[in-house]
A and B are shown apart, each in its own frame.
Chain A
Amino acid sequence: MENARFRPLEYVFWACTLLPFLVTPSYLSLASQVAVTALFALSLDLILGYAGIVSLGHAAFFGMGAYTAGLIAKHYWTEPLSGLLVAAVSAGVLGYLLSHIVVRFRHLALIMLTMGFGLLLAEAANSASALTGGADGLQGFHVPGVLGFKFDMFGRAAYAYALAVLFLCFLVARRIIHSPFGLALRGIRENATRMPAIGAPTLAHLRKAYTIAAVIAGIAGAVLTHTTSTVSLETLSFGRSADVLVILILGGAGRLYGGIIGAIIYMVARDQFSGVNPQYWYFWIGLLLVAVVMFLPNGILGGLRALRKKPQ
């Protein structure tokens, strides 16, 4: 088993995440979007990169968390941390229920089912406009701040909040994948028929992983709600599910930092390119996808690792 200790490069990386406060204070709201997206990608990495469950409907849990947090803030209380907890639980319950169905399928049926559940939830949220605000989104609430720090227009508290949540969830995910349970997940990914032969409860493991991923995705959604004080239908959309998949593959699936690196590159590039011409952004992202699949099958991080190993 690989060493579970923090490597020097990881300390450097996390220190660098503090840079936006000092270097680019005008981009702090983008930075908190990046942190939310990175957290969402991290949750997909747990099931896709480590357990091998391909999902085209992961936004279901992101949206579930976002709407739960939004509804709580609108109708009950605006303290974010407890709202975050409830959102995590609600997304987790949904994930647990769906996991019983999802883990039984593979290949095309799995992709279609995850996509189907995502689309179902999006349609349901669209139809139940009395509760969710429908296509207009959920508005009319304001989350003032967290732990006494105000969410203001400079976005300092918002980024600190998103970053702290990302870091804590990252530690949890890191602990999980370095545990025997994480090793079992990788075993299932590599060969799902042989794992039961050594006594591993394959389906139970997959259900557990799927539920944990749903919880983290829900947390990401809730953080987005708290930092923007609005929820749109887009949080549940197929586009968001597809985007996060692209981000994860771009960065490199199954290596924990892949989703984070992917989110940074994707979000910053989109911010720059779509300012010029929003519709042609798709061209570049399409080209990037084609190139990654053809030339960098393990994403950017996999490519870097291959480069580093070559000289030996």
Chain B
Amino acid sequence: MLSSLAGVLFDGFAYGMLLFLLSVGLSVTLGMMNFVNLAHCSFAMVGAYATFSLVGRHGWPFLATLPMAFIAAAVISVILERTLYRRLYRASDLDQCLFTIGIVFISIAVYAWFYTTEQQSVQVPDWLKGAQHVGAMSFANYRIFLVVIGLAITAALVLLVERTRFGAQVRAAVDNQRMARGLGIDVDRAFMFTFALGGGLAGLGGALSIQMVGLDPTFALAYLVYVLIVVAVGGLGSIGGSFAAAVVLGISDMAGKYYFPWLGAFLIYLVMVALLMWRPQGLFGKR
């Protein structure tokens, strides 16, 4: 019982790290520009398919493809931001939702065209397979790897946002965009970099998730609900909030699947609805 509890906690935490990578970018960009980007998971899919092609078709080692997944997703997200998204910053929530859902549909069809709708997988190095055994408990190597990467990226993000000039600009823009502009901060430029960073992290998350959840073109829609839950529960523009929400969601999802399999995703949705009714602005949101 105890060892299964530890196992569920650990697996849930690793899953939470994945959700954090997928959603942190959306949380910050939503907080800055109030732009509801439902296509965020499409960027994750760009990264995931970049890794899949490089490993499967060009024989790159798995680890070397991760930076490429980041770059591919970041580049695509900047191109979209510069050409299309920026026209809609002043549009209504609904228009933004519809527009980005349109992008999601297009991305699903395009990836289905190039990669078929089959479930794909990647070959990971041998040292990422298998598990470590501590007493009666076992921890899958790949999940340990996920936790390490997740924690390292969280630490780097916190340093970036708390300690650098760029981070200060981002924080100022999230808190009060007009005031930040008034102080001479180039919010558009800061936003572009944040958008690229968020898209890139989503791409990295997508690449890392192939091993855990598989990959097919509906990825962009299937994980959207989870990402939105993390963002809405964690609160807009809050890295700490996203982290906490992702971990809570990851653990409760794993626990739900392990202890109450007949409930399906019911538990998650119930937790989300209850949390939102209690705090509509999210757990850590200020507005």
Contact = CB atoms under 8 A, between A and B. Distances in A.
Interface residues of A, number: 40
Contacts of B272: 112, 116
Contacts of A293: 88, 91, 95, 98-99, 102
Contacts of B87: 294
B139 interface: no
A249 B269 contact: no
Contacts, number: 114
B109 A119 contact: no
A127 B113 contact: no
Contacts of B270: 120
Interface stretch (A152-160, A177-185, A276-284): A276-284
Contacts of B231: 108
Given A109-B232, A127-B263, A283-B106, A290 B99 contact: yes
Given A290-B102, A293-B99, A123 B265 contact: yes
A113 B276 contact: yes
Interface residues of B, number: 44
Contacts of A56: 97
A226 to B, nearest CB: 29
A285 B232 contact: no
Interface string A206-241: 000000000000000000000000000000001000
Contacts of B273: 113, 116-117, 120
A192 interface: no
6 contacts: A48-B94, A107-B93, A113-B276, A116-B276, A119-B269, A287-B106
Given A108-B231, A127-B266, A297-B95, 5 more contacts: A105-B280, A112-B276, A123-B264, A123-B266, A292-B98
Interface of A: 48, 54, 56, 101, 105, 107-109, 111-113, 115-117, 119-120, 123-124, 126-127, 238, 242, 245-246, 249, 279-283, 285-290, 292-294, 297
Interface of B: 30, 36, 84, 87-88, 91, 93-95, 97-99, 101-110, 112-113, 117, 225, 228-229, 231-232, 236, 262-266, 269-270, 272-273, 276-277, 280-281
